[in-house]
Chains A and B, each alone.
Chain A
């Protein structure tokens, strides 16, 4: 039974991967590929957040700090020193990891809502600082990326699909890391810390170390997304790079999809982005606020009626319709 289930899971993952890879071949519309790229990128940010927020239940609302640090590190290296963003993206990740140490040292003393508030403050301080750094970080005006044409070595491409594949590779990386952590001792420790920190400490889990380690990984991944994003939109300023919306969206997609699950952030992003695309086609643009109004209503509904996330609804449906009613009781729901 167990073996069959795992291979079925693998089958679905494989099918999904094939579809994801073929997507840009199916449509040549730049608009569609742009939407796919954003979906995949934000799913990746959600996956990075979910490691912290989902497994260890450290509900950060300040992941924009690392998104922004990644974005600024690679951009400064590119424009001031001519260093390729391929190196910059890793440097950004390292800078984010270094920054996560002091931020974590401060914030991890706090629990629940205090922690969330402290992370907001940390991200805001970074944004305000970058607004002040006019000399080497362009201050509030920001800057555009130098257009180098089709320069794969400098992470610039003529084809939109190339960006999509980079984002897809990032998402795959995030999912593989999550999968590995979920199945390692670290994953179990993290869940233990998330369930009850004091109890975890009592049975010998070093909660602070666990939180610090997962924060390092989460910050690193979020920074990769930041570099990619500013390379993709060819522009950076503090309000884009440290946007509070990034922090919000990272948490939101994970919660709507299924907090603390491997596929939750992906499901959440696809659902929310699909909703937002539908809204756009119904209302047209120019209705500022409509998208987030609907997002927040969905979030409230999920919290009240399906706090485990919408992925639970889908696995339930799948078990009832496809796997048959008999298997429902025997197969434990996949975490």
Chain B
């Protein structure tokens, strides 16, 4: 019994690392640009397809294709911010919500047209490998994904706290007008923030590819998780999103283990609705960012 619980927790933590990459992106965009990106999951999907085609055409390992997927998604992010998001800033809820929502619909359906609904998988030598730690099984591919996700999250934290651009980003998030008065160029800061957020989504896609199938709707699984994690972790709070993502991974995994195979999402949504009812500002509302 104890072993089952421990195994469920390990599984949950490992997938929680991937959720963290997606939800940190959502929360970063929300914190800095004040937009909820409904299309974040679709950028995970694009990252997965990039890795899939690099693997199937050139035999490049999905983990190595991080080097391609992250810069490509960064550029997409800068373009997205410059040509679309910038135009609806300050226009009210409807355009802000439905612009990224329409983008999500567009990307899913273009992927459906181009790649069909078929599941695409990449088989690597470590896809089926597991490490035994006492009675626990740790799948290698998920462990690598988790480790890289944590390294990237740490790198982002350092970027936000130690570099000038990162500090400018946090300043713009706190108060855009004052930041502008201090000589910060908000357009540049916003573009970099969206770029980083999308690069993280691309990384999540590449990291998933060794053990998760790519298909046009795959992003919806991750974006729903990310939304819950972002609300739980207080919108705009990067550390909060990271902790909440790991918690959600564990909650989902325990739900699957003890309530039933199709109950993971029910547990997660129930958590969301309960949090909204009890702590509408998230678990970490009021904490320093």
Give A residues with C-beta under 8 Å from B: 57, 59, 61, 106-107, 109-114, 116-118, 120-122, 124-125, 128-129, 131-132, 248, 251, 255, 259, 287-293, 295-297, 299-300, 303-304, 307
Contacts and interface: CB of A to CB of B under 8 A. Distances in A.
Contact of B276 (A57, A118, A300): A118
7 contacts: A109-B276, A117-B231, A120-B227, A121-B272, A121-B273, A293-B106, A307-B95
B97 A307 contact: no
**Interface SS, A side:** helix
A296 B109 contact: yes
B112 interface: yes
B53 interface: no
A125 B91 CA distance: 31
Given A118-B272, A128-B265, A293 B93 contact: no
A292 B84 CA distance: 19
B87 A304 contact: yes
Contacts of B231: 114, 117
Interface of B: 36, 84, 87-88, 91, 93-99, 101-103, 105-106, 108-113, 116-117, 216, 224, 227-228, 231, 235, 260, 262-263, 265-266, 269-270, 272-273, 276-277, 280
Contacts of A295: 105
A300 B103 contact: yes
Contacts of B265: 124, 128
Contact of A303 (B102, B106, B113): B102
A121 B96 contact: no
Given A117-B231, A121-B272, A289-B113, 19 more contacts: A59-B94, A61-B101, A109-B277, A112-B97, A121-B228, A121-B273, A125-B270, A128-B266, A251-B98, A289-B108, A289-B111, A292-B105, A293-B110, A295-B105, A297-B106, A299-B98, A300-B102, A300-B106, A303-B102
Nearest to A122: B273
A296 B105 contact: yes
Contacts of B36: 113, 116-117
Given A109-B280, A112-B93, A303 B99 contact: yes
Nearest to A248: B105
Contact of B113 (A113, A128, A293): A293
B116 A288 contact: yes
Contact of B216 (A59, A112, A289, A303): A289
Contacts of B228: 121
A132 B262 CA distance: 8
Given A118-B273, A128-B265, A289-B216, A303 B109 contact: no
Contacts of A292: 105, 108-109
B106 to A, nearest CB: 4
A290 B113 CA distance: 7
Nearest to A305: B87
A43 B78 CA distance: 37
Nearest to B266: A128
B55 to A, nearest CB: 24
A251 B110 CA distance: 21
Contacts of A251: 98
**Interface SS, B side:** helix
A292 B102 CA distance: 10
A116 B97 contact: yes
A24 B265 CA distance: 45
B110 A289 contact: yes
A284 to B, nearest CB: 14
Contacts of A125: 266, 269-270, 273
A114 B259 CA distance: 28
Contacts of A293: 106, 109-110, 113
B31 to A, nearest CB: 13
A292 B95 CA distance: 19
Contacts of B113: 287-290, 293
Given A106-B277, A288-B112, A288-B117, A124 B269 contact: yes
A106 B275 CA distance: 10
B66 to A, nearest CB: 28
A140 to B, nearest CB: 9
A88 B98 CA distance: 34
A129 B96 contact: no
A335 B36 CA distance: 29
A319 to B, nearest CB: 24
A259 B262 contact: no
A334 B272 CA distance: 41
A303 B262 contact: no
Nearest to B104: A296
Contacts of A289: 108-113, 216
Q: In the A-B complex, list the 10 residue pairs whose CB atoms are closest, starting with the nearest.
A: A289-B112, A113-B36, A289-B109, A296-B106, A296-B105, A299-B102, A292-B109, A293-B109, A112-B93, A289-B113
Given A113-B36, A131-B262, A300-B99, A255 B109 contact: no
